[in-house]
């Protein structure tokens, strides 16, 4: 339940920044992407973390290299299935939510080469 409300909160906040929500919870056998959005011409694959206890310094535990690879592979499935986005630039963002604190939006938090 925490993840669902976190994703809703993040989607609302990102839409408030002018981004357009394309998909939520895109799932394949390789993994899941919480939010897929358009930010101008860029297609954004966003991982949302809502942690009541851990801080931003612990984010690397949740979005470690293995998780990043799963997100990247899932993004490739999305792009193969939704060819209408094939000419857009893409990026991978992370949104961190902690109750009582402002949302942290890490733009281009990782790339396929990291």
CATH number for the domain including 7? 3.40.1350.10
Name 25's Cβ contacts closer than 8 Å, sequence gap at least 6: 7, 32, 33, 34
pLDDT mean across residues, the chain: 88
Domain extent at residue 66: 2-110
Q: Closest by alpha carbon to 23, among 7, 1, 2, 9?
A: 7
User: pTM value?
Assistant: 0.90
Q: What is the pLDDT of residue 1?
A: 39
Total of domains in the chain: 1
Structure tokens at 71: 């997100």
Sign of the torsion angle spanned by Cα atoms 77, 26, 109, 114: negative
Predicted local confidence at residue 53, as pLDDT:
66
């Amino acid at each position: 339940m925490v993840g669902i409300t976190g994703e809703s909160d993040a989607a609302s906040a990102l839409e408030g920044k002018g981004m357009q929500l394309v998909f939520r919870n895109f799932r394949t056998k390789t993994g899941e992407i919480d939010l897929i959005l358009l930010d101008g011409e860029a297609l954004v694959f966003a991982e949302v973390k809502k942690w009541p206890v851990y801080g931003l310094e612990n984010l690397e535990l949740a979005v470690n290299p293995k998780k990043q690879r799963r997100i990247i592979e899932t993004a490739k499935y999305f792009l193969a299935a939704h060819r209408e986005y094939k000419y857009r630039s893409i990026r991978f963002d992370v949104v961190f939510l902690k109750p009582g604190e402002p949302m942290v939006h890490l733009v281009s938090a990782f790339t396929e080469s990291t």
